[in-house]
Structure 1
Amino acid sequence: MKKSILAIATLVSLALTGCSSNDDSPTPPKSTFELKVDDLKGNITDGIVTLDPSKTYNLTGGLIVKSGATLVIPAGTTIKTDPNVDANSLFVAVERDATIHIDGVAGNPVVMTSGKPSPKESDWGGLIICGNGKVNTGDNGTSEVGGLSYGGNDNDDSSGRINFLRIEYTGSKFTDKKEYNGVSFFGVGRGTEVSNIYAFESGDDGIEFFGGAVNASNLAIINAYDDSLDFADGYVGTITNIYISGVTKAGIEGSNNGDNDIAEPFTNAKLINVSIVKGSDAKFTASEQAINFKDGGGKQAYTNLFVSGIETFAKLDSGSGATARIDAGDFIVNGINFTTLDNLTASYVSNQTGAGAGASLPSWALDIQ
């Protein structure tokens, strides 16, 4: 009898242990996506796809994370573009209601780069993230490249996270009005984590925010051949620690709405600890100044902004929307209300340290390089 009781107790214990083990370690949902190291492309339609950081992936076409699916890219993973594929066909994109987890760490970022022997700007598209955040151009926009829907009414939406990403040689162009950036955020919500991005040699903008409310920190944008940092279409968020060097057009272009400069919600951007450095190469002309206050401008506030090599501070939209915002004190630079009567950089920038070290690359950027 004692042996029978002991046997029953042992079986019950094993059963409970098995249940506990399953509950503590749920199996991640499998994906039907066929992951190929030498041929990375296609639609991830379901489950979770995790890349292997010990391998270098050859991007041979558009890689799109579809609604409901997740792409995980661990620290140290490298994605290189196929040198023999058309540049406009090479991009990574995340749809609304899909997620991406770029999990680089200091000193060991995720790298997305050109696979050409002599890489240069515009070798490939870049990274596109679409979310359900509010955009003042409408709730269902279409990304200028990739044809993905974005926008909605959920500024708390999450598209995942981007931490420690180095992205290089992006910005290929379909036309003069249709081009990729380094990283494009379309209607991305503040539930998304964005920190430590190093965007290098983009043929168009380095990083751009189209509406949404995602916050970001530690953005280094080096050598962009349009604007370096761009936000528009009712973007509402805070960006902290921005280092810009190599300015072709504007260091920062801030817009409200290209079709209706008083569209609401107004762009309302707060930028803290910013360095804008024109660059010594003759090709970096900063033709649209340190700040391009464009298409109504919206509300813009800059704190601890450092500028080097650009004498005229802002290029100003002459429309009534922009004039109204400036007159209302909605364009603030280092605690001073900008005025059209004084557009000299020296009037607004004096002893600021910017992103951490004035014109020099800040220490935090070295961890992403």
Structure 2
Amino acid sequence: MKKTILSIAVIAGLIFTSCSSNDDNPIVPSSSFELDADNFQGDIEDGEVTLSASETYILTGPLVVKSGAELFIPAGTTIKTDPNGASTSMYIAVERGAKIYIDGQANNPVVMTSGKATQSESDWGGLIICGDAPVNTGSNGDSEVGNLAYGGDNEIDDSGRINYLRIEYTGSKFSATKEFNGVSFFGVGSGTQVSNIFAYESGDDGIEFFGGTVNASNLAIVNAYDDSLDFADGYSGTITNVYISGISKAGIEGSNNGDNDVATPMTNAKLINVSIVKGDDAKFVASEQAINFKEGGGMQTYTNLFVSGIDTFAKLDEGSGATARIEAGEFMVNGIAFVTENNLTTDYVASENGAGNGADMPDWANEIE
């Protein structure tokens, strides 16, 4: 009997202590950001914000993850824009020093899309990520949209992770020189993980890298109304498995620097397993060819590159910087140094299968779609 009374006393004491402890240490939210699924916008200034796949989030304005804060988006989450919102005011941006974790899964991606009943390219901005890695336009540049600082000297800078993201109907425009892309990487470092992105119906470029050192894999870009894939400003990295279809201007535009075509660090892009398919619709004319070797070009190497529907292989910058890169054999295509006089697709593309299935969409892209 004494043992029973003692046990009850101990349990009561534990309960009292537990309650007292909770009173002394109340649960504190992990971020001061007020998450409202029906009004998803504002600045995440601190801590961690985690979305729920059971909710559909309505993007009503700019959502900016500020330096030091983190945003987590689990598989199956959908973010839609306000159908009545201004197209240029709705975008998601990650500041230098902040992180985003997009954790989709095969056949269960994170989806960012237009909320309009009739969806179209340029319905909203897109996703912008800024990092602290080198660019050849100078540190502390301002992103083309969002006015966010980017660039630095940390090659291994970490802005988080993107895996299995479908992003649609992006690319709204302020002007002819100030436009959103589907996904824009500004000075993003190699510590960032980027894989399995499907960019669909972008009013400007599908995916663009402004400098930085981030590597990427499994990028599908379908129906872009400027260039499909773009890299510039000293981008240095490897992009593996790229499927491009529906090309308005260039399948891939690769540049060094628009103001100084021999600026350093020089663009040094390696692309492996690439399919570039013009598309059957008459509006996709590939006016700047499969590759637009632009603004000095930098160093570009393509391995297992497949091209369909485009006769002239490259549009060439005629400046001295680009000429020097070509003469030095730094524009390599399927093991062959590009030669200006031989500028037909048939001179460089033989039996390659590109991203996996030649002109057809590869299996890995279907998992994101």
Q: Work out whether the TM-score is over 0.5.
A: yes
Asked whether 1:320 is paired with 2:320, we answer: yes
Kept in 2: contact 1:234–1:267 (CA 8 A): yes
Q: In 1, Cα distance between the equivalents of 2:228 and 2:163?
A: 20
Q: What's the counterpart of residue 56 of structure 1? A: 56
Residue 226 of structure 1 corresponds to which residue in structure 2? 226
Distance 2:329 2:366 in 1: 36
Partner of 1:207: 207
* CA offsets 1:140-188 (integer angstroms, 9 cap, x no match): 1100000000000001000000000000000000000000000000000
**Which structure 2 residues correspond to residues 270-281 of structure 1 after superposition, within 5 A?**
270-281=270-281
Aligned AA (2:213):
A
Conserved? CA contact 1:162–1:195, under 8 Å? yes
Over residues 118-152 of structure 1, what are the superposed CA-to-partner deviations in whole Å (9 max), with x where a residue is unaligned?
A: 00000000000000000000011100000000000
Distance 1:28-1:99 versus aligned 2 partners, 3 A rule? farther
What is the TM-score of this pair, normalised by structure 2? 0.93
Post-superposition, which runs of at least 4 consecutive aligned residues in structure 1 deviate over 3 A?
Answer: none
- Match status 1:134 vs 2:134: yes
Q: Is the 8 A contact 1:161 1:192 kept in 2?
A: yes
1:290 is displaced (CA, Å) by 0.1
How much has 1:320 moved relative to structure 2?
0.2
- What RMSD in Å do the two structures reach over aligned CA positions? 1.6
- After superposition, the C-alpha distances for 1:17-47 in whole angstroms (9 at most, x for unaligned) are x9xxxxxxxx997100000010000000001
Whole-angstrom distance in 1 between the partners of 2:123 and 2:101: 24
Q: Secondary structure at the match of 1:68?
A: coil
CA distance in 1, matches of 2:28, 2:186: 28
Alpha carbons of structure 1 residues 274 and 189: separation in structure 2 relative to 1, 3 Å:
same
> 1:71: how far off?
0.4
**Conserved 8 A contact 1:212-1:236:** yes
Counterpart residue number, 1:86: 86
Q: Is the 8 A contact 1:171 1:204 kept in 2?
A: yes
Matched residue type, 1:276 = I
CA offsets, 1:210-265, max 9 Å, x none? 00000000000000000000000000000000000000000000000000000001
Counterparts of 1:231 and 1:96, CA distance in 2: 19
Specify the alignment match of 1:158 in structure 2: 158
In structure 2, the residue matched to 1:23 is: none
Aligned equivalent of 1:101: 101
TM-score (norm 1): 0.93
The equivalent of 1:286 in structure 2 is 286
Counterpart of 2:23 in structure 1 is none
Q: Write the letter of the residue equivalent to 2:349.
A: V
Structure 2: 5+ residue runs without aligned partners?
A: 19-26
Residue 331 of structure 2 corresponds to 331
Indicate the residue corresponding to 2:197 in structure 1: 197
Match of 1:247 in 2: 247
Q: Distance in 1 between matches of 2:348 and 2:284?
A: 22
In structure 1, stretches of 5+ residues that fail to align are: 19-26
Indicate the residue corresponding to 2:111 in structure 1.
Answer: 111
State the identity as a percent: 72
For the residue of structure 2 that corresponds to 1:167, the secondary structure is: strand
Distance 1:31 1:240 in 2: 36
State how far apart, in whole Å, the 2-side matches of 1:63 and 1:143 are. Answer: 15
| Structure 1 residue 341: Cα displacement | 1.1
* Counterpart AA for 2:38: D
1:24 counterpart residue number = none
Number of residue pairs aligned between Structure 1 and Structure 2: 351
- Contact 1:28 / 1:48 at 8 angstroms: preserved in 2? no
